[in-house]
Amino acid sequence: MENAKVRIEELTSLLNYHNHKYYVDDAPEISDFEFDALLLELERLEEQYPELRKPDSPSQRVGGEAAKAFAEVVHAVPMQSLQKAFSREEIYDFDRRVREIVPDAVYVVEHKIDGLSVSIEYENGILTRGSTRGDGNVGEDITANIRTIRSVPLRLSEPVPYLEVRGEVFMSNANFERLNAVLEETEQPLFANPRNAAAGSLRQLDPKIAAQRGLDIFVFNIQRIEGHEITSHIDGLRYLKKLGFKTILNDRVFTTIEDAYQEIERIGAERGSLGFGIDGAVVKVNDFISRAALGTTEKFPRWAIAYKYPAEKQKTVLRDIKIQVGRTGVLTPLAILDTVRIAGSNVSRATLHNYDYIKQKDIRIGDTVVIEKAGDIIPAVVEVLTEARSGDEKVFVMPQRCPECGAEVVRAEGEAAYRCTGITCPAQRLRNIIHFVSRPAMDIDGLGASNVEKLAENGLIIDAADLYYLDFDRAVELPGFGEKWAENLKKSLERSKTNPLYRLIFALGIRHIGEKAAKVLAARYKTIEAFMDAKTEEMAELNDVGLVMAESVAEFFRQPQNTEFVDRLRFAGVSCEDDTKEAADTRFAGKTFVLTGTLEKYKRAEAAKIIEGFGGKTSSSVSKKTDYVLAGAEAGSKLTKAQALGVTIITEDEFEEMIISK
């Protein structure tokens, strides 16, 4: 929580600065890609910790006014869902019910797009409102975000007095992969599938973010229309296409359910090659008079049904299990398969998730396995055909050393993931360098993610220690760099050499060691050498450290590459000692403060620094051990908990009296 708070404050400051440079000064200093990556990171953190979101957060306003909330929209025509069928028999039962009322029913069959259903309204041919389906009766006004979808016409080809259409907003497979690549680059959770990505993008409060996501839409129904008469579904789609909408127009009609079901199967066979997700096909009665005769239930129309396709599965042989090392050091097992075609593409690799998954399913090298595409996107091994075993299959064992760098692989108690502990591991190097130079760590300006990547790609740095030995003559020749950048970076590197020891400890990126723990460790051990040689049991007894952190430190310094990395920093002149003076005034010694709400006189970081300067501690959560809760405006659950526990609550004025009095 504390690390998230620091990072949110850092991102908020950084994004507000670059936003001003771009939109006010017209002098951008970073690329759109870098800006988007920072913004995505902030949004994810604020979603995880909504209590840390500030009114001035760039997620609320970036380059323009963002909506504070979506207004409610009451649908004049309810946006009903469809009854579902999962078998041929259920489709035939639907036909039987229809023909009891409409004996000569004619059907249309169309793709069921895997996206988000929306309503779009036009007056005199001009787009006036877009809204989500919501619960079918009440949705949310997302007009600004709908306008960002390039396939939505803002003006129709004819000035229709009034028109309301229904469509499905989706994200193409290509745009989904691009978006997840950005999220992976910034070490954020990935979207599970294109539908989730489309949903998250369409409900962004800031339309500029929605615009960057590359959303698309197929319009499939006329909800209401004035000034033009439509008598059938096919006529409606033709007219919508003429007005400028993107539709999947299929002029075919089917007089028998047998022919309609064959079309369902045909659509199912092509779904892997469409470039966008579908999760079924929809059978509809074409004629509107027939629809009126059939009517609707409270939940869905009686004139339509959605056939849901099962996930496609295929058998193949698992030839090997390879290990991929991710940017965060997590080792992920990957199945190497005999190539098989599934959901429209050739698959020769599939995820095995983690070692526990392999053991649970008893997956062995040489097994015949069943794979499927989860959400028709990510191939996964879902079943082992043990009856096909010959006895030559091999049990897989996770490596004890990282296949990328040879460092020790560890698995923390209670976690599924195995991790590499090497700071110079090639798979992690960009992440480690970016963390090392970040503001809470060594605070080296001029080294954003793209600059670090450029230096690494051109062989100028392999790890963060290389920054102190950088060949500036070669660096300035790279695109986007120059003499002024080099001069500023040299100064920043020199400044970083005199940083307090806790910054260096934090910059090493030791798992579980955040900024607060780094301060405790620096204050206790005073030099990097003493810290590296510290006994695990002794370290575990320190407040705010504990056994998990202590063991993580020990694992880190067991790796020769990590101790060599520290030696290179020391040789470059980076300070490895703590010169922090003991607090002369320790009035808050042994006291723990929790800060909550909006403070008027101090920023939270400033108040925390004052408390620590007087020998006290700050915590992110309230407990019986909390001595004081400093409560500002709009204090929430922490204040309530403090009141329930009987913790002393102080105002800013009372806090000020405590720090100025003797």
CATH number at residue 391: 2.40.50.140
Residues 223 and 280 in one domain: yes
Considering the domain boundaries, does residue 67 fall inside one? no
Separation between Cα atoms, residue 24 and residue 433, nearest integer Å: 31
Task: Report whether 313 contacts 371 (CB < 8 A).
Answer: yes
Considering the domain boundaries, does residue 63 fall inside one? no
If you search the block for the tokens 């929306």, which residue do you land on?
118
Q: Where is average pLDDT lowest: 140-144, 373-377, 387-391?
A: 373-377
**Which H or E run includes 502?**
helix 501-507
Mean pLDDT of the 511-527 span: 87
Residues recognised as catalytic: 112
If you search the block for the tokens 């806790």, which residue do you land on?
502
Q: Which of 121, 122, 112 is nearest to 81 (CA)?
A: 112
Separation between Cα atoms, residue 128 and residue 155, nearest integer Å: 10
pLDDT of residue 99: 96
Task: Report whether 196 contacts 176 (CB < 8 A).
Answer: no
Q: Which two tokens stand for residue 132?
A: 């989500």
Q: Which of 189, 188, 193 is nearest to 175 (CA)?
A: 193
Q: Which of 259, 252, 261, 251 is nearest to 282 (CA)?
A: 261
* Parallel, antiparallel or unpaired: strands 378-384 and 368-374: antiparallel
Q: Which two tokens stand for residue 252?
A: 């075919």
Task: Report whether 421 contacts 331 (CB < 8 A).
Answer: no
Is 52's pLDDT higher than 70? yes
Task: Report whether 166 contacts 117 (CB < 8 A).
Answer: yes
Residues 360 and 491 in one domain: no
Task: Report whether 574 contacts 497 (CB < 8 A).
Answer: yes
Residues 338 and 234 in one domain: no
Task: For residue 222, name the pLDDT band (cuts at 50, 70, 90).
Answer: very high
Residues 134 and 243 in one domain: yes
Q: Which of 548, 537, 566 is nearest to 424 (CA)?
A: 566
Helix axes 2-23, 32-48, angle to 10 degrees: 140
Single residue among 350, 373, 395 that ends a domain in this structure: 395
Task: For residue 60, name the pLDDT band (cuts at 50, 70, 90).
Answer: very low
pLDDT of residue 652: 87
Separation between Cα atoms, residue 595 and residue 506, nearest integer Å: 23
Task: Report whether 354 contacts 416 (CB < 8 A).
Answer: yes
Separation between Cα atoms, residue 123 and residue 119, nearest integer Å: 14
Residues 390 and 485 in one domain: no
Average confidence score pLDDT of the chain: 85
Predicted confidence (pLDDT) per residue in 551-587, tens digit: 989 989 998 989 999 999 999 999 888 765 554 677 8
Predicted confidence (pLDDT) per residue in 603-655, tens digit: 777 788 788 878 888 887 888 889 999 988 878 788 888 888 989 999 888 88
- First-last CA distance in the chain: 33
Residues 144 and 186 in one domain: yes
Task: Report whether 270 contacts 59 (CB < 8 A).
Answer: no
Please state the length of the chain. 662
pLDDT of residue 287: 94
- Percent of the chain topping pLDDT 70: 90
Q: Which two tokens stand for residue 192?
A: 């599970």
Considering the domain boundaries, does residue 66 fall inside one? no
Residues 487 and 520 in one domain: yes
Helix axes 546-557, 560-571, angle to 10 degrees: 80
Q: Which two tokens stand for residue 181?
A: 């690549």
Considering the domain boundaries, does residue 169 fall inside one? yes
Side-chain-side CA neighbours of residue 612 (13 Å): 15
* Domains: count for the chain: 5
**Which H or E run includes 4?**
helix 2-23
Separation between Cα atoms, residue 593 and residue 607, nearest integer Å: 10
- What distances in angstroms separate CA 235 from CA 108, 286, 348, 458, 635, one per listed residue? 12, 9, 45, 59, 58
More confident residue, 34 or 300: 300
Single residue among 283, 308, 333 that ends a domain in this structure: 308
Predicted confidence (pLDDT) per residue in 89-145, tens digit: 999 999 999 999 999 999 999 999 988 999 999 999 999 999 999 888 898 899 888
**Which H or E run includes 564?**
helix 560-571
More confident residue, 612 or 335: 335
Task: Report whether 409 contacts 401 (CB < 8 A).
Answer: yes
Is 439's pLDDT higher than 50? yes
pLDDT of residue 66: 37
Considering the domain boundaries, does residue 61 fall inside one? no
Separation between Cα atoms, residue 381 and residue 371, nearest integer Å: 4
Considering the domain boundaries, does residue 624 fall inside one? yes
Identify each DSSP E strand in 244-386 by its residue range: 278-285, 304-308, 313-325, 330-342, 345-351, 364-365, 368-374, 378-384
φ/ψ (deg, to 5) at 40: -60, -40
- Percent of the chain topping pLDDT 90: 38
Residues 606 and 556 in one domain: no
Residues 487 and 607 in one domain: no
φ/ψ (deg, to 5) at 101: -110, -35
Separation between Cα atoms, residue 464 and residue 135, nearest integer Å: 52
Single residue among 528, 550, 580 that ends a domain in this structure: 580
SS3 per residue for 167-224: EEEEECHHHHHHHHHHHHHCCCCCCCCHHHHHHHHHCCCCHHHHHHCCEEEEEEEEEE
DSSP 3-state helix, strand, coil percentages of the chain (rounded to 5)?
40, 25, 40
Q: Which two tokens stand for residue 69?
A: 């909330």
Residues 77 and 214 in one domain: yes
pLDDT of residue 378: 65
Is 36's pLDDT higher than 70? no
Predicted confidence (pLDDT) per residue in 461-491, tens digit: 999 999 999 999 999 888 888 899 999 999 9
Residue 601, domain CATH: 3.40.50.10190
φ/ψ (deg, to 5) at 9: -65, -40
The CA radius of gyration of the chain, in Å to the nearest whole number, is 30
Considering the domain boundaries, does residue 64 fall inside one? no
Separation between Cα atoms, residue 464 and residue 507, nearest integer Å: 10
φ/ψ (deg, to 5) at 214: 70, 45
Q: Which of 405, 28, 53, 33 is nearest to 186 (CA)?
A: 33
Sequence-separated (6 or more) residues with CB below 8 Å from residue 568: 465, 468, 469
Considering the domain boundaries, does residue 284 fall inside one? yes
Q: Which two tokens stand for residue 378?
A: 């990510």
Amino acid (one-letter) located at 220: F
Residues 410 and 298 in one domain: no
Residues 219 and 301 in one domain: yes
Task: For residue 353, name the pLDDT band (cuts at 50, 70, 90).
Answer: confident
Residue 252, domain CATH: 3.30.470.30
Which range marks the domain in which residue 354 is found? 313-395
Separation between Cα atoms, residue 49 and residue 649, nearest integer Å: 23
